[in-house]
Amino acid sequence: MGEIIKINDLHRDFIVGDETVRALRGISFTINPGEFVTVMGSSGSGKSTLLNILGCLDVATSGDYFLDGVDVKSIDKDGRATLRNRKIGFIFQSYNLLPKTTALENVELPLFYNRSVSNAERRERSRKALIEVGLEDRMNHYSNQLSGGQQQRVAIARALVNDPVILLADEATGNLDTRTSYEILVLFQKLHDDGKTIIFVTHNPEISKFSTRTITLRDGHIIGDIMNPEIKSAKKVLDSLPVDDTQ
Amino acid sequence: MNFGNLIKIALKALGSNRMRTFLTMLGIIIGVGSVITMLAIGTGSKQSIRSEIGSMGTNVIMVMPGNGHFGGVRQSASSMQTLKLSDYRSLANETSYLSHITPVVDASGQAIFGAENTPTTLYGVNGEYLDIHGYALSEGTVFTDEDIKKSAKVCLIGATVAKNLFGKEDPLGKVIRFSKIPFKIIGVLESKGSNTMGMDQDDLLLAPYTTVQKRILAITYLNAIHASAISEDYSTQAINEITKILQINHGIEIGEENDFNVRSMQEMLKTMSSVMDLLTILLGCVAGISLIVGGIGIMNIMYVSVTERTKEIGLRMAIGAKGKYIMIQFLIEAIFISVLGGIIGVIIGILAAKIIELLGTPTSVSAFSIVLSFLVCVFTGIFFGWYPARKAARLNPIDAIRYE
């Protein structure tokens, strides 16, 4: 299997008033299947812009982007929507679950936009995804009845349900307390062990210790791209945390 | 994309905002309901007026003397003496589209019986007058050709006159006086009630026209000739035929002004109908405006909904919804609101029409008004849902998903 993501000399310019803001100034890297990559950088470093482009929500001003062998540059808006639906799983900082909707229905959502998935299959796959994130007993709870950690698990299940080639997480633990953050990281590591390719965008250096590779951005350039020699286990850290009574 | 899925998504969105959905729908419900009710009132009134005029005989044709000059002075129509018995005879013999025909002479005066008296109108006619105007006898008989030939002093009495003169007594066989002439009552007319113009149709006496002409008015001309066409459909032919015969009888050249008028109830009906149509259109317009206001309500709510759900739209786009799916979803929501509102409106409109009918105003719900308002609803949904839906579809997913 070839590389999942291949970008080459990627530029992204925004025109704000009379000025041109150059958010990305020539970025190149390749991500292979099974990698767990954290993209680090302070705010304004271009990591959100990069994530948008990787997620096919935005297109680069210049440079090449191949997602799972598809040249994204050559695809129109609707084509990119389909690409997002089939190949990408998004996980957001603020979960973005639909209100007044059950966990199961939230997870089903991406499959609603996939004609080839039947009603029965959609339900079955959504159940499996929820089981995978450990929410088998919360399927019919409404999103406002779930804790932050549980909501993020639903969001992860939603990202998994279409069996994407890559999971894109944007500060996925940013809204969670320490313990819940580690729980989510445990889940990410488990998914990674199961063979999922993950890109985790964060400004928190702590998180990069749990990934296999760290790409650091500053001012639109890559200033660091290292393979982590020693990957910490989120589960061990979680076990070492003092037990919280409220959990 | 499966269209059924989009419908499910749209319905779920509506279902999670039931109160708002209902309130939005209310505008359409009221709009459609009032369109149906207003049109029902309009149509109902029209039909009741039609049937009232119909009871006067829609195929009735009246020939009146027309304007004319006499020594260079234009005379009033009623003073003209252009209609003669000979006209009646030739019409009776020569026309092929008439079923009944009678000469008419009338005289106003007091009818007197014993100590009672009442003002009324005595019409000199033949027996066919009853058929033409739809009178029936409750007792007695109609005067015969023999009575007409002899100018017999017999009459038929209208229900109002009978009540005024006799109260509860049976008038049959009694003798009343009209302009000092005694008339024996040989028949009593069944009550017909008032006509559309509020005229009491039972306030009359009918006598042989010869009697009225000779014994009361001392004239040889006629005030009018009343006839009925074979059926409503032949009214126009009958009028043309009568006009032609009378033109020949009166020696009127083509292009010259006729000295008579031929009018049919049909024409009156048309006039009344056009007035009622106008009323119906007016009511419909007022109701239509409320439907438009309802539509704007939908548009307003859909706009609010798009703004409120910006984040949701962003998410849907991020997980693979194309712009057009978002658009279709919002359009379905708008159409669903308007169509369901329309259906409820139709039901409420029909119920309201029934209630109004029970309160005494005639109504008639036409299939046309139901189909029309339903189509208007679908159109309203599409039209007023379009812009908000397009706004939603054009959102940039990057901005939308981070919208707070």
What pLDDT, in 10s, does the model give residues A81-94? 999 999 999 999 88
Backbone φ and ψ for B123, nearest 5 degrees, come out as -100, 130
Each residue of A119-163: pLDDT tens digit?
899 999 999 999 999 999 999 999 999 999 999 999 999 999 999
B319, B324, B398, B401: best to mutate for the A interface, most A CBs within 10 A: B319
Q: Which residues of A touch B320 (CB under 8 A)?
A: 81-82, 84-86, 110, 113-114, 162
Backbone φ and ψ for A27, nearest 5 degrees, come out as -115, 135
In angstroms, rounded to a whole number, what is the distance separating the alpha carbons of residues B123 and B381? 63
- Which residue among B312, B320, B398 places its CB closest to the CB of A84? B320
- For residue B396, the distance in angstroms to the closest alpha carbon of chain A comes to 9
In angstroms, rounded to a whole number, what is the distance separating the alpha carbons of residues A48 and A217? 11
Q: What is the reported pLDDT for B67?
A: 65
Domain ranges of chain B: 3-52+271-401, 83-258
Report the residue of chain A nearest B6, measured CA to CA.
Answer: A112
Q: In angstroms, how far is the first alpha carbon of chain A from the final one?
A: 41
Q: What is the reported pLDDT for B306?
A: 87
3-state secondary structure of B175: strand
Tokens of B35: 């369109």
Task: With respect to residue A109, please indicate whether it lies within any of the assigned structural domains.
Answer: yes
Regarding beta strands B98-113 and B116-125, do their DSSP bridges make them parallel or antiparallel, or are they unpaired? antiparallel
Which residue type occupies B249? N
| Residue B319 contacts A where some CB pair is shorter than 8 Å | yes
pLDDT for B78 beyond 70: no
| Residue A227 contacts B where some CB pair is shorter than 8 Å | no
Please, what is the average pLDDT of chain B?
A: 86
Q: Say if the Cβ atoms of A84 and B2 lie within 8 Å.
A: no
Tokens of A198: 């993950």
User: Crossing angle of helices B235-249/B85-94, nearest 10°?
Assistant: 130
Each residue of B338-384: pLDDT tens digit?
889 999 999 999 999 999 989 888 888 888 888 888 888 888 888 88
Query: What's the 3-state SS for A9-63?
Result: EEEEEEEECCEEEEEEEEEEEEECCCCEEEEECCCCCCHHHHHHHHCCCCCCCEE
Q: What is the reported pLDDT for A1?
A: 55
- This prediction has a pTM of 0.69
CA neighbours closer than 13 Å in the CB half-sphere of residue B180: 3
Each residue of A174-185: pLDDT tens digit?
888 989 999 999
B48 or B341, which is more confident?
Answer: B341
Structural domain harbouring A212: 34-59+75-237
pLDDT for A165 beyond 80: yes
- Which residue among B312, B320, B323 places its CB closest to the CB of A85? B320
- Long-range contacts of the stretch B277-282 (C-beta < 8 A, 24+): B277/B46, B279/B42, B279/B45, B279/B46, B280/B38, B280/B39, B280/B42, B280/B43, B280/B46, B281/B42
Residues 6+ apart with CB under 8 A from B393: B323, B324, B326, B327, B330
Each residue of B184-213: pLDDT tens digit?
999 999 988 776 667 788 899 999 999 999
Q: Say if the Cβ atoms of A57 and B12 lie within 8 Å.
A: no
Q: Say if the Cβ atoms of B16 and A99 lie within 8 Å.
A: yes
pLDDT for A247 beyond 50: no
State the burial class of residue B63 (Cβ atoms within 10 Å of its Cβ: 0-12, 13-18, 19+): buried
Nearest Cα residue to B160 out of B131, B113, B125, B194: B194
Q: Say if the Cβ atoms of A112 and B8 lie within 8 Å.
A: yes
Q: What is the reported pLDDT for B51?
A: 76
In angstroms, rounded to a whole number, what is the distance separating the alpha carbons of residues A122 and A65? 30
Q: How many domains does chain A have?
A: 1
Share of chain B residues as helix, strand and coil, in percent rounded to the nearest 5? 55, 20, 25
| Residue B321 contacts A where some CB pair is shorter than 8 Å | yes
State the burial class of residue A129 (Cβ atoms within 10 Å of its Cβ: 0-12, 13-18, 19+): buried
In angstroms, rounded to a whole number, what is the distance separating the alpha carbons of residues A122 and A141? 18
- Cβ atoms of B341 and B22 closer than 8 Å: no
Angle at B39 between CA B34 and CA B45, to 5 degrees: 130
- Which residue among B12, B322, B398 places its CB closest to the CB of A81? B322
Each residue of B146-175: pLDDT tens digit?
999 999 999 999 999 999 999 888 899 999
In angstroms, rounded to a whole number, what is the distance separating the alpha carbons of residues A88 and A109? 14
- Cβ atoms of A133 and A159 closer than 8 Å: no
B252 or A13, which is more confident?
Answer: A13
- Positive or negative torsion for Cα A15, A21, A23, A24: positive
Q: What is the reported pLDDT for B56?
A: 63
Q: What are the angstrom distances between the C-alpha of A179 and each of A93, A97, A203, B20, B278?
A: 16, 22, 18, 40, 76
Angle at B309 between CA B306 and CA B314, to 5 degrees: 100
The helix (run of H) or strand (run of E) holding residue B98 is strand B98-113
| Residue B149 contacts A where some CB pair is shorter than 8 Å | no
In angstroms, rounded to a whole number, what is the distance separating the alpha carbons of residues A176 and A173? 5
In angstroms, rounded to a whole number, what is the distance separating the alpha carbons of residues B15 and B29? 18
Q: Say if the Cβ atoms of A112 and B318 lie within 8 Å.
A: no
pLDDT for A220 beyond 70: yes
| Residue B324 contacts A where some CB pair is shorter than 8 Å | yes
Q: What is the reported pLDDT for B177?
A: 92
Band (B296; pLDDT cuts 50, 70, 90)? confident
- Cβ atoms of A220 and A44 closer than 8 Å: no
Q: Which residues of A touch B2 (CB under 8 A)?
A: 112, 115
pLDDT for B1 beyond 70: no
Q: Say if the Cβ atoms of A105 and B12 lie within 8 Å.
A: yes
- Cβ atoms of B4 and A119 closer than 8 Å: no
Mean pLDDT for A231-247 is 79
Hey, which residues does B176 pair with through a beta bridge? B183
Q: Say if the Cβ atoms of B320 and A57 lie within 8 Å.
A: no
Each residue of B123-154: pLDDT tens digit?
999 989 988 888 889 889 998 989 999 999 99
Task: With respect to residue A188, please indicate whether it lies within any of the assigned structural domains.
Answer: yes
Angle at A182 between CA A179 and CA A187, to 5 degrees: 130
Each residue of B64-77: pLDDT tens digit?
887 666 666 666 66
Q: Say if the Cβ atoms of B323 and A105 lie within 8 Å.
A: no
Each residue of A39-48: pLDDT tens digit?
999 888 889 8
In angstroms, rounded to a whole number, what is the distance separating the alpha carbons of residues A43 and A218? 9
Nearest Cα residue to B277 out of B265, B285, B289, B287: B285
Mean pLDDT for B172-184 is 91
Q: What are the angstrom distances between the C-alpha of A201 and each of A24, A42, A108, A155?
A: 15, 11, 25, 16
The helix (run of H) or strand (run of E) holding residue B105 is strand B98-113
- Which residue among A77, A90, A100 places its CB closest to the CB of B318? A90
State the burial class of residue B208 (Cβ atoms within 10 Å of its Cβ: 0-12, 13-18, 19+): buried
Q: What is the reported pLDDT for A192?
A: 94
Q: Give the domain CATH number at A169.
A: 3.40.50.300
User: Crossing angle of helices B3-15/B323-358, nearest 10°?
Assistant: 60
Q: What is the reported pLDDT for B373?
A: 82
Instruction: Give alpha helix (H) positions in A116-240.
Output: 119-132, 148-160, 178-193, 205-208, 234-240
